[in-house]
Amino acid sequence: MAVRRQFLGVTGTGTGVGKTVLSALLVRRCVRLGLSVRAFKPLCSGGRGDALALEAALGGSLALDTINPWHFDAPLSPSLAARLERRKVTLGQVVDHLRRYSVAGDLTLVEGAGGLLSPLTADGDNRDLIVRLGALPLIVASNRLGVIHDVRAVLGNLPPRLRDRAPVVLMAPAQADESTAHNARSLGEFLEPDHIVELPRVPEEVRAGAARPSLSLTRSLDRILDLIGPMPS
């Protein structure tokens, strides 16, 4: 039986919620466990920092221009930033690139831009890319007041077959609020509680791979990998 490409669509409730932080941590964990992993940020706008973080996490196994073939100067959605440079990227081009540079059997993380419904290419948004790839969505959200609505809105906008398996990761905010300690339990009333994982604040040295993750962080990352499903070693 042919081994399918396993795409993970790292998306979430918006911009700046921790998609890159989580992606880099998951990649580093896979590398440490000896699992085959690839990661892409196909479209960057306003700097290539996300792609550089993934390149570092991958430890040089993938070239920057392969991780991120399209980048635009303006700190706007990639679709608008591309238009301002009179350039055009289509979903088809992105899907072709990801299929070409991913390997059957490997886990392939694909970080979108912004939230699920943010525009991505000239002809589609992050949801369209996830659907075209048949990717498992990984929903990242900041664990603060309002997150119940935001996560439910994202899940409600996914096709049921993708929604039902999607892990939801609540990232600890810089400043916890009164809801932070309760949100995972409250969300568990609306979706499979086992699909919800909380991630603590992660020090810069750990994110950069200069220090080892704590045991509790490692456990959380392994739970997310379990939810993603089996991978070849």
Ligand X SMILES: Nc1ncnc2c1ncn2[C@@H]1O[C@H](COP(=O)(O)OP(=O)(O)OP(=O)(O)O)[C@@H](O)[C@H]1O
Q: Phi, psi at residue 143, to the nearest 5°?
A: -80, 75
Rule CB under 6 A: is residue 50 a binding residue for ligand X? yes
Instruction: Please state the separation of Cα 81 from the chain's center in Å.
Output: 21
Q: Which does 15 bind (CB under 5 to 8 A by kind): Mg ion, ligand X, none?
A: ligand X
Q: How far, in Å, CA of 195 to CA of 41, rounded?
A: 24
Q: Quote the CA–CA distance of 17 and 171 in Å, as a whole number.
A: 7
Annotate each residue in 50-89 with x if it binds Mg ion (CB under 5 A) or - if it does not, as one string. Answer: x---------------------------------------
Total residues at the site for ligand X (CB under 6 A)?
Answer: 15
Strand partners for 72? 45
Q: Is 233 exposed, middle or buried (0-12, 13-18, 19+ CB in 10 A)?
A: exposed
Q: Considering only residues 97-116, where is the footprint of ligand X by CB under 6 A?
A: 114
Among 76, 162, 172, 184, which residue sits at the site for ligand X (rule: CB under 6 A)?
172
41 is catalytic: yes
- From the CB of 162, what's the least distance to ligand X, in Å? 19
Interface characters, 1-40, with Mg ion (x: CB under 5 A): ------------------xx--------------------
Active site residue ranges: 41
Residues within the interface to ligand X (CB under 6 A): 12, 15-21, 50, 114, 171-172, 199, 201-202
Residues within the interface to Mg ion (CB under 5 A): 19-20, 50
